[in-house]
Structure 1
């Protein structure tokens, strides 16, 4: 069987969209699964639907990369599968992505890296070098070929453009840290100072380039790991493709920047405004994701596990659990968020679709890790905002706090080095994993009554940063909810909120 390439696709009579030639308009630091199922997908669509007429030159981020030669052997092509649920309907789509021109190993060919950085057609630089990628490396030097760190390489690339008199670009960092664009710019400015580069270059970096904070959201499990499934997919396609990638069909890219970026970037013209948005401030959208998507997980999974569920998708088929989640989101969380309510409803509907993904068995126990800090970060802000707005306790968020306590205390069996072993109502043991001090706390209170335990939890300021027992009526309500969970089960407790 032939390896994927333009020649192979022509031989097979491939009928899908392809872009064989175009100038390199994007320089991408990273060649991993996420970028290939996200940025490359959107830019491929921009080629097809907006005649962007551009290609992406990938840059291998570390000396240890092994994909460069494979990409180049395949003409930059690979097969992308997007799978999941959309508006309640199963989605299983695939296409050959042709938005990549080549992959450059700058440790082997530094001149090719600088050449790509100095493409006159270049419009943007994109990155996803993991959360550890945006760091200042004091050992980096301008003379390195190249710098090991991503900010060092970026400074070298921008300096090369500056010396040739080329215009600035839009820089879109997709790393999962707060203020990713601003942090990246800060690192570049530190390199400028450490390398004693002139003020004209510093002005060029800060005034002629746009460093955007971004928020990215698409689950990308990555390549196909099962050998038999991989072989079957190749057989169906008619070619070998070791670079095939798999992601969920949902995808959102929020880009913080001036409004003119909407016209400068190709996404709006390509009809992707629902998926790629330019906004003045990314903060409300991050809050939307944390409070709705992540908050929903933390709000229902602990009680759902006690109710006998094991994976997220099955929870969406349970009337009480799904009803509980929806009431929590639509009546208690979303009204507190500073965004258009219709937009929030669409996002919440997409979250329900994502939870119902028929291709992903998302284990509740994997979501349960470190739920103390998760409830504080994801659910407590909505809880407090609801009270401030309505002057009463939110029924479902309060129940979610009781479910958290129930999960951490249900028939505690023993304390092990890596967790607290409890027993589920169904009879099997499960291991609670959290910070050691949290587990020690619950183990020390394993013989408490419901009232004693709730009081100890709510007054533990190390957990919550404040004394939650001071919230009017909360302690009494959580005791009642915890006793209901223990007596009637979590499913009936959730149903009681409806």
Structure 2
């Protein structure tokens, strides 16, 4: 089997470096590498990527050993049809380890064709580290490294306006570029890098908040022989991902013209305000995940796919999303329904095993952010509690008892939350339990006992779950809750 390199594959001509990418891990290679490869293929974008290893240990040596080449396997389901695609990604033209060669890193600032900075250094990567100094080679934090590189570019090109960059972080924090910009400005101030540099950066570079969404399991070690059998070369950097890809970028008109993703067929949305898309993802995708986990585990499912394929649990989750969550969102309903359909295709993906226990971590805080806003908005709109979301809430509370039918449940949360529920569950009174949990403002941001009928509905669900289990309990609860729906919803 031949070695994977540019000479052996006839790819010795490299595109110019237009993109500097902080991070060489699985996600960026399956997401950014693929997106810009499609732009190169379908639009003639002719963009090469220079990759920077953001931490001391990484994959730069392996990338360089393969001349930046690697294979992306994409598998998924679209409208019930299984899809598999294989793509050799060839747009990484340079990979640099700043810990091994800091001058090589700084030289990237001098690339005349450079236009974009892209990063994914994990949520913890966009952070201010007070101990970082401008003489460190390199500083520890990503923002500090980037500040030095931007300053080097400013100096090398004598403050030329056209050499500013579009900075597009992909870390999964809200307002990621705004946060990054604030930290860079703090380093400029702390390190006394000068007002001229600050003005050049603010006037000639742009910062763009983003939302990224793609499941990337990464290197398929358990099935690597099957993957290798499909190739005629040896690839040590195979990466597996789902077929779904969503990238939302907040931009100005100038950047939209520079990134003609609309010509690729990829779901890259270049918009003035990404917050509605973030809300859509958090409420529908993440909300469905969080709502399903306790409910489905108590039913007896182990994976997300089992949950949506089962007639009872799948029907329940479908109504949570399409009848209750979507009803509370202000975006175009067709767009919301199309997005939700894609989410359920992702949930059914047979190529990705997504264990419910693995997404049970910190379910209380997740419910407060991802699910509770939909529940409360539904109450506000309809003047009644939502049947399925309220039952999911009761399942969450029951899940935190920690034991179900003699088995230990995978409750994973802070010690104080686990201890609090242990204390609450010493009671056998479902009404007392519901009132205690819903009254904890530190969990929910407000006293939920003031939402009329919610405490009663949760108590009813808890009672039915304990007496009859999840499926029969839901049937009994959904019948009985009709008596509550005619009541006023909120008391002042």
Could you state the TM-score of these two structures normalised by the residue count of structure 2?
0.91
CA shift in 2, pair 1:97/1:197, >3 Å: same
Distance 2:50 2:270 in 1: 23
Query: Contact 2:119–2:171 (CA<8 Å) still a contact in 1?
Result: yes
Q: Which of 424, 429, 433 is residue 412 of structure 2 equivalent to? A: 433
Distance in 2, matches of 1:32 and 1:134, equals 16
Match of 1:442 in 2: 421
- Whether 1:189 aligns to 2:185 is yes
Aligned counterpart, 2:442? 462
Deviation at 1:283, TM superposition (A): 1.7
Q: Which secondary structure does the structure 2 equivalent of 1:324 belong to?
A: helix
Q: Deviations over 1:368-389 (max 9, x none)?
A: 2222222111111111111111
Name the structure 2 match of 1:58: 51
1:186-231: per-residue Cα shift (whole Å, max 9, x none)?
A: 11111111221221210111121111111111111111223xx323
Offset at 1:495? 5.5
More helix by share: 2
- When structure 1 is superposed on structure 2, of 167-176 and 441-450 the one drifting more is 441-450
Three-state SS of the structure 2 residue aligned to 1:57 is strand
Q: Which runs of 5 or more structure 2 residues have no equivalent in the other structure?
A: 480-492
Matches within 5 A, 1:92-241: 92-163=84-155, 164=157, 165=160, 167-226=163-222, 229-241=223-235
Q: How many residues align?
A: 473
3-state DSSP of counterpart to 2:94:
strand
The corresponding residue for 1:271 is 265
Instruction: Look up the SS of the partner of 1:316 in the other structure.
Output: helix
Query: Contact conserved, 1:85 with 1:354, CA < 8 A, in 2?
Result: yes
Aligned counterpart in structure 2 of residue 327 of structure 1, from 300, 319, 336: 319
Select 2:348's aligned residue among 331, 352, 356. 356
Q: Is the 8 A contact 2:139 2:145 kept in 1?
A: yes
SS state at 2:82 partner: strand
In structure 2, do the counterparts of structure 1 residues 102 and 138 end up closer, same or farther at CA, with 3 Å as the change threshold?
same
Q: Determine the C-alpha separation between the residues in 2 that align with 1:265 and 1:19.
A: 25
Structure 1 alignment gaps of length 5 or more: 11-17, 410-419
Do 1:68 and 1:104's aligned partners in 2 also have CA atoms closer than 8 Å?
yes
Cα separation, partners in 2 of 1:190 and 1:423, compared to 1, 3 Å: same
Tell me the secondary structure at the aligned position of residue 19 of structure 2: strand
Helix, strand or coil for the counterpart of 1:365?
A: helix
- Deviation of 1:316 after TM superposition, in Å, equals 1.3
Q: Aligned equivalents of 1:73 and 1:397: distance in 2? A: 51
User: Once the two structures are superposed, what CA deviation does each residue of 1:382-409 show, in whole Å capped at 9, x if it has no partner?
Assistant: 1111111111111111111111122223
Question: Aligned to 2:84, what secondary structure does the other structure show?
Answer: strand
The SS at the match of 1:253 is: strand
Q: CA deviation at 1:171?
A: 0.6
Q: Structure 1 residue 241: deviation in Å?
A: 0.8
Distance 1:328-1:195 versus aligned 2 partners, 3 A rule: same
2: distance between equivalents of 1:110 and 1:230?
35
Measure, in 2, the Cα distance between the counterparts of 1:265 and 1:130.
24
Deviations 1:389-439 (A, max 9, x none): 111111111111111122223xxxxxxxxxx4x133xx5333422222322
The Cα shift of 1:19 comes to 8.5
1:432 counterpart SS class: coil
Paired residue secondary structure (1:246): strand
Aligned CA distance change for structure 1 residues 48 and 459 (closer, same or farther; 3 Å):
same
Match of 1:484 among 464, 467, 473: 464
Comparing 440-449 and 100-109, the one that deviates more: 440-449
Question: Contact 1:2/1:8 (CA < 8 Å) preserved in 2?
Answer: yes
| 1:111-147 superposed Cα distances (whole Å, 9 cap, x missing partner) | 3323322211111011111122112233333333333
Contact in 1 for aligned 2:302/2:357 (Cα 8 Å): yes
Distance 1:2 1:407 in 2: 53
More moved, 163-172 vs 443-452: 443-452
TM-score (structure 1 length as normaliser): 0.90
Equivalent residue in structure 1 for 2:387, among 386, 395, 398? 395
Q: Which residue of 2 aligns with 1:423?
A: 404
Query: In the alignment, is the contact (CA less than 8 A) between 1:27 and 1:117 conserved in 2?
Result: no
- The alpha-carbon deviation at position 478 of structure 1 amounts to 1.7
Match 1:39 to one of 29, 32, 39: 32
Cα deviation for residue 26 of structure 1 reads 0.4
